Amino acid sequence: MENMKESQAKQVEKSKLNIDVLEAYPNEWYRLLDSGDGRKLEKAGPYTFIRPEAEAIWQPALGQNKWREAHAEFVVTQEKNGGHWETYKKIPDQWVVPYHGMQIRLELGNSKQIGAFPEQTVHWEWMEKRIQQSKNPLKVLNLFGYTGLASLVAAQAGAEVTHVDASKKAIGWGKENQKFSHMDNAHIRWLVDDAIKFVQREARRNSYYDGILLDPPKFGRGPKGEVWEFYKLIPNLIQSCQQILAPKPDFVILTAYAVKASSITLQNAMQEIMRGYAGKISAGELTLVEQSAGRRLSTSIFVRWQADQ
């Protein structure tokens, strides 16, 4: 009986989960000014705006006068995109902000998005260090790459990047960010494609990547109307990605928004992908640190693997 207990204890130790909370602090282009009552008060460049935030179940720390200074607010309705922007002060359709030596274009877009996810800066900076510390140039695949900021960071650090997104608009936006940032010579391949189909074709071509970023939506459509549903297709995508990993990969990052899965679920999936590779897995939540009261606002869950160096 004692040996069985010892064996069970070793199994528990072996499968122990490390849950991390990664904090994105105010930076040169973005600040979370305050949050509460199901909303968040944000500032990107010179403009302040309000967006709905279900996680903010507490009371705002700043007074209403500060909130009334916002240039615009996304109001939730039953419309196709879930609502619309109401403008309170003059704000341009588009504006450019500096980040990390680059220039990125923002706008008050559909579905309350602005063209960048500020909490992702913790992943970008971590990935940048991995690329810079690598002894050899890395090939990086950015799936569901959106407007390309992660791709630009990776390319700026010295990686050869393949950026895939199903949206022509997002790809065009990414190319604009590359142009604004004077990175015309950066090694970025921009592709409008379905993520799973692209990865499966890469596997047949024997194309391999040293680093992979996956930032899938809860629901979406491919360029030919392909339907993406997180729970139905993420297992297939994960298995497909395993087939295009280089013999000695450097990192894999998976982030999930607005899904019922936990970071433990993602960690279990990552353990399956990286079985047989020497490295470390961490999982947890991405958060934005509020400027007003220092509270952490949880935005998404993540898991990432890094090779032993």
Tell me what the mean pLDDT of segment 94-108 comes to: 96
Counting the structural domains of the chain, the total is: 1
Q: Is residue 8 part of a domain?
A: no
User: What DSSP element (H or E) covers 287?
Assistant: strand 279-289
Q: Which two tokens stand for residue 50?
A: 């309000």
The residue segments making up the domain with residue 26 are 18-307
Q: In terms of Cα–Cα distance, which of 163, 154, 252 is closest to 212? A: 252
Lowest mean pLDDT among 5-9, 117-121, 220-224, 279-283: 5-9
Terminal Cα-to-Cα distance of the chain (whole angstroms): 40
Of the pLDDT bands very low, low, confident and very high (cuts 50, 70, 90), residue 9 is: very low
Long-range contacts, 8-17 (Cβ 8 Å, 24+) = 17/264, 17/267, 17/283
pLDDT single digits (tens) 141-173:
999 999 999 999 999 999 999 999 999 999 999
- Residue 56: inside a domain, yes or no? yes
The reply to whether 1 falls in a domain is no
On whether residue 4 sits in a domain, the answer given is no
Q: Is residue 45 part of a domain?
A: yes
- Quick one: pLDDT band at residue 257, thresholds 50, 70, 90? confident
Question: Residues 133, 309: contact at Cβ < 8 Å?
Answer: yes
Domain annotation covers residue 6? no
Kindly report, residue by residue over 29-87, the tens digit of the pLDDT: 999 999 999 999 999 999 999 999 999 999 999 999 999 999 999 999 988 778 999 99
Domain assignment present for 50: yes
**Each residue of 82-115: b (16+ CB within 10 Å) or e?**
ebebeeeeebeeebbbebbebbbbbbbbeebbbb
Confirm whether 2 is domain-assigned.
Answer: no
Distances (CA, A) of 167 to 57, 126, 156, 172, 256: 33, 26, 23, 9, 18
pLDDT score, position 135: 92
Backbone φ and ψ of 5, nearest 5° = -60, -45
Residue 4 has pLDDT above 70, yes or no: no
CATH number, domain with residue 87: 3.40.50.150
